[in-house]
Structure 1
């Protein structure tokens, strides 16, 4: 390594103090020098120093560091920083609800007596996890073809199990399997009596308020129409103060053909029979006729049109509505 001797008087400092620029101005860029000499080892520019995150020695290093931090921030995110950040992204991160948990694996019990016994034990614990297991177990088992042949009408649903199923109707996490289970149970006549005794009519009506016009509401309407085949269920339906306006609203937003058919059948139960007069104050008859005729003119099944014609005839016979004037 070459050692420099101290000089008595330093030469005047050039415009560029860096050895690299001095070399370029003196030799490399000179047009008269065909063979520029090699850059002396002692005057080669030193390698760039490693980045110093907190160094403020030069403006160029500070600029490079600030750009690096802007592009790739290595500052750890603490809880206090997140809570203090009022940005929409942070707010969305904190208030976004987690996705619903997946349903439990299928558990199928073909013996209805054993199925209802296990479901009753699970509902009795009061735990949400056991409630979810019970409702899905009932769903998987009741759609099993063997269940109808091995149990059938001989085994009725216990009241405790029916209460557990009805309690799931307003729970958005399990409303879908709950309507499937309730409809499957109501296919049995003995289970309809059990459901009516446990207040199923009122609970289904209240659940319909929060349901959209899709398949879940369709199954709830189908179960409600089956419950109306029981005399006590039809009487309870007519006595419900919410059922008239609610059914009109359900008819407006119902999206499925089967759902419209079931809704028309329920309206026919409300305004027909000996208890029809009780429904006069619950829903405007003109509005009922209007939504029924709109449903009949749109995508409606043949059975739905027959039910609608029966309902309009009932209204006309009771002198509640001039059907010809309404149609015109």
Structure 2
């Protein structure tokens, strides 16, 4: 019996970027044809302005569907019993978006119709979202609606579309610099919007600050931390919670931001969150932020003031991941170095913190975590070394002072 031969795809059906069979061939201004998904990623996500094959600058980012090549490919697929590529939907034209934006100026009702039209485009596919993000005036229109419109539904709609198309780096920086109203609007939605709108608002805020200049990070307002803590306490969704935590990770190292976060209740919110979650990534993020906040006296004081603060941090050591263990040991190190007294040291024995540090030395963990645990135990060996609270099998690993 003859073996089935592998079908060889003609080279002119293969995208020069992905090296795979094209599904939606489009031609750029240099005359080279690519698969739409690959060339749009090259142009819009990777921020290139040249033709990948010829390296020439593109005179335009317009992509012209190559219908002739697509039909040839479909015929070839049919003839060779190869999975037939579907006929793609007609792409959204920039003129369609511009027409919607122009009509929005006529009346409030036209503005609502425009929002519905833009939402339909954003829901369509990745290509349509790219067109929407780069269409002149589209993002600005959505930001204005989100910032100034008094109708909560319209504001929510605009934020939802902005979240879907994602703000570019340049747009994010622009609206942090020039449009205080947009930032204030995000704060308002995070405080009193519905769950979905609040989630979209914190995600947009995180995207903006992720690419922000240091001056915007340092100058972030206390109100931002108040609303981030509000999101954490309400736990509206896992995605919103993780985004809020990542935002704190981004903001806290700058200037007096740690103190702003502490003053707005971040430490207690983080401890409560840690008490209620076993999910690995969430635990790692919470412990990372607590580690940052314990870098200041105010943060350490708040952690110690919480009845479960030290206990839950200690509990996560060796129970989540190496990253979580390292962060938790760092937090305990900050406490023992800068904020310890006889009461706290005795409490750490009673709730098992010292036993957990001894256990770290006996089991497999990162070198840094072991060394830090040794450092903590040596530092207070006079108080802890002969404690009855440490089981004998753990006490045997206590490091020499």
TM over 0.5: yes
What TM-score, normalized by structure 2, do the two folds share?
0.49
In structure 1, what is the equivalent of residue 313 of structure 2? 247
TM-aligned CA deviation for residue 324 of structure 1: 11
TM-aligned CA deviation for residue 197 of structure 1: 1.6
In structure 2, what is the equivalent of residue 292 of structure 1? 357
Unaligned stretches of 5+ in structure 2? 1-159, 397-401
1:216 to 282, 295, 304: 282
Q: How many angstroms apart in 1 are the aligned matches of 2:375 and 2:209?
A: 33
1:140 to 207, 227, 231: 207
Structure 1's 206 and 102: CA in aligned 2 closer, same or farther, altered over 3 A? farther
Q: How many angstroms apart in 2 are the aligned matches of 1:244 and 1:316?
A: 19
Contact 1:122/1:130, CA 8 A, preserved across alignment: no
TM-aligned CA deviation for residue 284 of structure 1: 3.5
Contact 2:267/2:293, CA 8 A, preserved across alignment: yes
SS, match of residue 380 in structure 2? helix
In structure 1, what is the equivalent of residue 228 of structure 2? 165
Q: How many angstroms apart in 1 are the aligned matches of 2:313 and 2:380?
A: 16
What TM-score, normalized by structure 1, do the two folds share?
0.59
2:395 is aligned with 1:327: yes
Count of residues paired in the alignment: 223
2:293 to 227, 235, 252: 227
Structure with larger Rg: 1
Structure 1's 102 and 124: CA in aligned 2 closer, same or farther, altered over 3 A? closer
In structure 1, what is the equivalent of residue 303 of structure 2? 237
Contact 1:286/1:321, CA 8 A, preserved across alignment: no
Q: Which has the higher contact order (CA 8 A, sep 6+)?
A: 1
2:290 is aligned with 1:189: no
Q: How many angstroms apart in 1 are the aligned matches of 2:351 and 2:268?
A: 25
Q: How many angstroms apart in 2 are the aligned matches of 1:245 and 1:181?
A: 25
Contact 2:295/2:334, CA 8 A, preserved across alignment: no
SS, match of residue 259 in structure 1? helix
SS, match of residue 107 in structure 1? coil
Q: How many angstroms apart in 1 are the aligned matches of 2:347 and 2:356?
A: 15
SS, match of residue 161 in structure 1? helix
TM-aligned CA deviation for residue 168 of structure 1: 1.7
